[in-house]
Copies of this chain bind each other. A is one copy, B any other.
Amino acid sequence: MPLSFTDLYVRVQQFYAGQVRSLDGMLAAEFAATFAEGGVFDHAPGTTPLRGRAAITAEMRAYQERRYAADPCQRRHWFSMLQIFPDQDGTVRTEYYAVVMLTRPGVAEPVVAPSCLVRDVLEVDGDGLLVRERVVRPDYAL
């Protein structure tokens, strides 16, 4: 029996909450495992989309090294205003706003940036979900 709209909506919310724990914990392989095999992550305009878990893991590790090794901080990805659009083929298209709150040690006020629009295609995977495709578009680049 397919999931009801309501059950699917809540499953997507719980999935995203878990996914950002991996992302914000800098757990590259865990984060990549939330994508389907061969999943595509188009994380920034003007770059080649990442294809597959190995590529996602590698890029995330490189980014952490490049960006945070000399500037340690705690990132928190916040998603909001989620829409889900279940498709006939069992996939779920989603669309939501996202922002990163970046906190540096000893500084109470996080840097809030950038505001983005994100579009995913998810597939149901047993009791969970996987990202088949993600496109992130920051508002400042529009």
Question: Which A residues lie at the B interface, using CB under 8 A?
Answer: 4-7, 9-11, 13-14, 16-18, 20-21, 74, 76-84, 95-97, 99, 101, 103-115, 117, 138-140, 142
Contacting residue for A140 out of B7, B79, B105, B142, CB 8 A:
B105
User: With A76-B115, A108-B140 in contact, is A14–B99 under 8 Å at CB?
Assistant: no
Q: Please state if A17 and B74 are interface contacts (CB–CB under 8 Å).
A: no
Q: What are 11 pairs between A and B in contact, CB < 8 Å? A: A6-B11, A17-B95, A20-B81, A21-B81, A76-B117, A97-B101, A103-B114, A103-B139, A103-B140, A106-B140, A110-B139
Most chain B CB inside 10 Å of its own CB: which residue of A14, A84, A139: A139
A113 to B76, CA, bound (A): 13
- Give min CB distance, A8 to chain B, whole Å: 9
**CA gap between A137 and B139 in the complex, in Å:** 26
Provide the residues of chain B in CB contact with A13, threshold 8 Å: 9, 82
Cβ–Cβ contact B78 & A16, under 8 A: no
What is the bound-complex CA distance between A21 and B80, given in angstroms? 12
Which single member of B11, B17, B111 contacts A109 (CB below 8 Å)? B111
Taking a contact as CB atoms under 8 Å apart, the answer to whether B142 and A105 are in contact is: yes
Contact A101 B77, CB 8 Å, known A82-B17, A140-B106 = no
